[in-house]
Amino acid sequence: MPLTLPRPLQYWTEATAAALLHPPGASPTDFAEPAGEAALAAADSVAWRVFKNPVALFVGGVAAVILELAEPRVRTGVWEHTGFREDPLGRLQRTGLAAMVTVYGPRSVAERMIARIVRAHEAVRGHTPSGEPYHANDPELLRWVQATAAFGFGEAYSRYVRPLSGESFDQLLAEGAPAAELYGAEGVPTSRAGLAALFDATRPRLEPSPILAEFLRIMRRAPVLPVPLRLLQGLLVRAAVDLLPEPDRRRLGLLAEGLRPWERPLLRAMGRLADRLVLRNGPAVRACLRLGLPADYLYGR
């Protein structure tokens, strides 16, 4: 059943969530306008259910970035062309807003945003320390980034919120294909079998790195969550590591970084509670209102 907190706590929660999706200098995005305009994914999609959950987004997003930074070309492009080390919160805010617009935003707004990102990525190119060339708009690298994101968000929701059936997971992957094509990713997996094949093909390229260790340190310490919730941040980062397939954790030297057995039920309780919490000013609810749906439409599904 949908959950609404006592008024002061609800206001604080709404404000905290809104701040995480408001990068410095960016204009506020109203997901309730223009009325009636559809998103890239339908309101009854698996994606709309998954992306409303903040626990799944945090855990799944960190898991995806771990896998992305394990690929040397992606790692070099991210670390040399973004300000993540200097401004991790700003980077996370921009990434989170982009994800919300891609899923919940009006199609025209999402398409314009993705086009801007693609243009910006055109300049992101160079060579890895070992001399390999990379380009942010390389379809092969984009395919890996899109696939790891879909894996992370879907697996986090399935493990720590509500289990997704095989059919639902396949549907989630297929729902991401239109946005992936706009980003320039080709041949993104649209089924669990395709995702497993891509992981198997890419795994030999994955490698541990001091940059990966630095990313995890930053994510444990950056002021992503408000002070009352800051102690949970390390738990969420460990949950992200725990999410990775065992061969990848072993390859990256992360076998000792996962959750303790008693922490998994705690994560599931957090995820299920968050799945009932109606954030009336959040992208999911505002997008439902844009389409003439009840504010709690996604919370009774």
| pLDDT tens figures, 59-96 | 999 999 999 999 999 999 999 988 788 888 888 888 88
pLDDT value of residue 6: 80
pLDDT of residue 27: 75
Q: What pLDDT is recorded for position 76?
A: 96
Host domain of residue 74: 7-293
301 confidence band (pLDDT: 50, 70, 90): low
231-243 helix and 139-160 helix, angle to the nearest 10 degrees? 110
The per-residue pLDDT for 229 is 79
How confident is the model at residue 83, as a pLDDT? Answer: 78
Q: Let me know if residue 54 belongs to a domain.
A: yes
- Per the domain annotation, does 1 fall within a domain? no
Model confidence over 181-233: pLDDT tens digits? 999 998 999 999 999 999 999 999 999 999 999 999 999 988 888 877 788 89
Q: How many domains does the chain have?
A: 1
* pTM score: 0.94
Domain for residue 158, yes or no?
yes
Rounded-to-integer distance, Cα 26 and Cα 102, Å: 16
252 in any annotated domain:
yes
298 is a domain residue: no
Residue 300 in any domain: the answer is no
| Domain assignment of residue 186, yes or no | yes
Q: What residues have CB less than 8 Å from 133, skipping those under 6 apart?
A: 73, 125, 126, 127
